[in-house]
Amino acid sequence: MTRVLVVDDEPTILDSVGFTLEKEGFEVLSARDGTEALRLARDRRPDVVVLDVILPGLSGREVCRQLRAESDVPIIMLSARADEVDRVLGLELGADDYVTKPFSLAELVSRVRALLRRRELDRTRRNVLRAGNLELDLSRHEVRLAGKPVRVTPSEFRLLELLASEPGRVFSRDELGRHLWQTQYTGGERAVDAHIVNLRRKLERDPARPGQLITVRGIGYALAGV
């Protein structure tokens, strides 16, 4: 059974989200603070984490940062703020999606299922994409740079997958966003930019002078093919 860890300090949200996910056939783990969330994530290894930003003790952002340093589990952040800066900050820490409170339970379930579908598609593909010294193994969901493994999040992998499918081609932020979230809603251009910033930290010798992930001003991004 697919396991979802729900982390929120508001009992009504924890109960309603947990009840809805269980009705949809998920196994639900619940935590009301950051410390408990990390313990459950490490001990029970959920398939998806739904994580509130504001928590007692360790904040949701800190939980996200620590989880992302040791795991590629898909993470959906919850926040009462609709501010794009707040959303982008969560994505920069490695979150895969962002939902603003108050939210529809049906929408949240849909976001959880979408992340799981994308992960399963990545795992079942059997081919390898290459661009210069960068290699993406689509069946194993692995990235290697000059033969060395690079840890990326599910969303970062999906972004690289599109860019590596046509090295040298410039993809607009809108194209990248629609591919990333599989919807006409792309989460804003800055959300795509946040993922690119994260990838440059992992792939570039000097992120301030990128040679792999190229910015084409006013248009979007391209992955160098050589």
Identify whether the C-beta of residue 199 lies closer than 8 Å to the C-beta of residue 160: yes
Q: Is residue 23 part of a domain?
A: yes
Q: Are residue 102 and residue 159 in the same domain, yes or no?
A: no
Q: Is residue 134 part of a domain?
A: no
d(CA 222, CA 160): 10
Q: Is residue 109 part of a domain?
A: yes
Tens place of pLDDT per residue across the chain (226 aa): 899 999 999 999 999 999 999 999 999 999 999 999 999 999 999 999 999 998 998 999 999 989 988 888 999 999 876 555 566 666 777 888 888 888 999 999 999 998 888 777 766 655 888 888 899 988 778 899 998 999 998 888 989 999 998 898 999 988 888 887 765 444 557 778 888 999 999 999 999 899 889 998 888 999 986 5
Q: Are residue 10 and residue 107 in the same domain, yes or no?
A: yes
DSSP 126: -
Q: Pinpoint the alpha helices (H) of the chain.
A: 11-23, 34-44, 60-70, 84-92, 105-124, 154-165, 173-181, 189-203
Q: Are residue 85 and residue 157 in the same domain, yes or no?
A: no
Q: Are residue 97 and residue 195 in the same domain, yes or no?
A: no
Instruction: Give residue 9's domain range.
Output: 3-120
Q: Is residue 52 part of a domain?
A: yes
Q: Are residue 40 and residue 109 in the same domain, yes or no?
A: yes
Q: Is residue 67 part of a domain?
A: yes
Q: Are residue 76 and residue 31 in the same domain, yes or no?
A: yes
Counted domains in the chain: 2
Q: Is residue 8 part of a domain?
A: yes
CB atoms within 10 A of CB 36: 19
